[in-house]
Amino acid sequence: MTLKTFLENPAAWLDGKGPAAEIVISSRLRLARNIVRMPFTCWAKEKYLREIISLIKDAIKNNAFLPNATIVDLEQADSLIRQFLVERHLISPEHAKSKIASVVIGDKESVNIMVNEEDHLRIQTFSSGLQLNAAWDVISKIDDRMSEKIEYAFSSEWGYLTACPTNVGTGLRASVMIHLPALSITKQIGKILQAVSHLGLAIRGLYGEGTESSGNLFQISNQVTLGRQEEEILDNVEKTTQKIIHEEQSAREQILKQSRVQIEDRVYRAMALLCSARIISAQEVMELLSAVRLGVGLNLLNIPIKILNELLISVQPAHIQILVEDQQSPIEKDMVRARVVQKKIMEGMKNV
């Protein structure tokens, strides 16, 4: 794996072309699967962990849905590479702590398989905007193809067996990454998120369970995987997301009506700072990008969503660390981040 190749080729799901892509950054599906007659990762000895990796490497060979896949052995990956993979959503923060584990990364990062995360396989797909059903077509085909080569742990009574009971059944988690600045500004976000959790959905930070929300971005996903059909799960997440989009759009109309100038002020100041700062932290970029993204949604600014999406990833700490020397100070990293932001925005403005 060359980091440079990844850096220069943003993931396809960041292209901003999917449905409602200005509000819903991405749709992600994840299937938890385990190999029959193998101990679960958490108590598997090294021998088994290596065997699992080997079985899965064999299984993906010649898989039409995973052409040109890259396999990264986490054993060989230092903490920087692990953090880099987390920032790209290719591995989870938990997976990044594993010793004997790997990740299979499909072309343009649309598909990936975490090996020896909590389950032996965590197959994931990422798509732009809100398109869970299209993503389901892709992931179920990959899953079918994998099941031809690997016998999954499956019970006719319970469905797919997983390390944690919350994933038993379909093993499916459907989630969307959604940007809700107007609901935050109008202070309705708490109420909305509470309503969402009453509908059996979970709200998480940007990098999954236990991570913080940043830049008004939230991950919304199903909690329950058992006793429901996959279609039912997808349908529930999709419909709830549609409702949240509707609420966000109402809140946008409300703020435009009640405080248009304050919003313009926030948007134009954010854009000016992104273009002018010489030193900028990841946290500040996330906040400014949120205001700029809202500005695009309100037709106050004209910047491709793709540019804003790519920045969400490329300003993260490990992405910046790769561009600087080892010993450089936090200020020097914040300087490089400012240049990354400005280069990307210039690139985006050229094509407007």
Q: Is 26 annotated as a binding residue?
A: yes
Q: Is 200 annotated as a binding residue?
A: no
Residue 315 to residues 84, 282, 294, Cα–Cα distance (Å): 11, 6, 19
Give the integer Cα–Cα distance in Å for 179 and 249: 11
CB neighbours of residue 259 within 10 Å: 14
Looking at residue 35, what DSSP letter applies? B
**CB of residue 270 vs a second copy: minimum separation in angstroms?**
9
Q: Is 30 annotated as a binding residue?
A: yes
**CB of residue 311 vs a second copy: minimum separation in angstroms?**
18
Q: Is 208 annotated as a binding residue?
A: yes
Q: Is 175 annotated as a binding residue?
A: yes
State the Cα torsion 321-11-72-66 to the nearest 10°: -170
SS (H, E, C) 168-236: CECCEEEEEEEECHHHHHCCCHHHHHHHHHHCCEEEEECCECCCCCECCEEEEEECCCCCCCHHHHHHH
- Of 36 and 331, the one with the shorter C-beta distance to a second copy is 331
**Opening angle at CA 143, ends 139 and 149, nearest 5:** 150
Q: Is 176 annotated as a binding residue?
A: yes
Q: Is 207 annotated as a binding residue?
A: yes
Helix H or strand E segment including 309: helix 305-314
Give the integer Cα–Cα distance in Å for 58 and 63: 10
Residue 139 to residues 123, 130, 160, Cα–Cα distance (Å): 8, 15, 15
Q: Is 29 annotated as a binding residue?
A: yes
**CB of residue 265 vs a second copy: minimum separation in angstroms?**
4
Amino acid 181 reads P
Q: Residues near 321 by Cβ (< 8 Å), separated by ≥ 6? A: 80, 83, 333
**CB of residue 97 vs a second copy: minimum separation in angstroms?**
35
Do residues 49 and 121 touch, judged by C-beta distance below 8 A? no
- Of 331 and 349, the one with the shorter C-beta distance to a second copy is 331
- Of 68 and 329, the one with the shorter C-beta distance to a second copy is 329
**CB of residue 297 vs a second copy: minimum separation in angstroms?**
17
**CB of residue 269 vs a second copy: minimum separation in angstroms?**
6
Give counts: helices (H), strands (E), the chain.
11, 10
Amino acid 173 reads R
- Of 37 and 257, the one with the shorter C-beta distance to a second copy is 257
Residue 31, beta-bridge partner list: 123, 172
- Of 54 and 276, the one with the shorter C-beta distance to a second copy is 276
Residues of the shown chain interacting with a second copy in the complex, contacts defined by CB under 8 A: 261-262, 264-265, 268-269, 271-273, 275-279, 331, 335, 338
- Of 51 and 264, the one with the shorter C-beta distance to a second copy is 264
- Of 128 and 290, the one with the shorter C-beta distance to a second copy is 290
Give the integer Cα–Cα distance in Å for 260 and 252: 10
**CB of residue 69 vs a second copy: minimum separation in angstroms?**
41
Q: Is 206 annotated as a binding residue?
A: yes
**CB of residue 38 vs a second copy: minimum separation in angstroms?**
54
- Of 38 and 275, the one with the shorter C-beta distance to a second copy is 275
Q: Is 269 annotated as a binding residue?
A: no
Task: Give binding residues as ranges.
Answer: 26-30, 89, 122, 173-177, 204-209
Which residues fall in the annotated binding site for ATP? 26-30, 89, 122, 173-177, 204-209
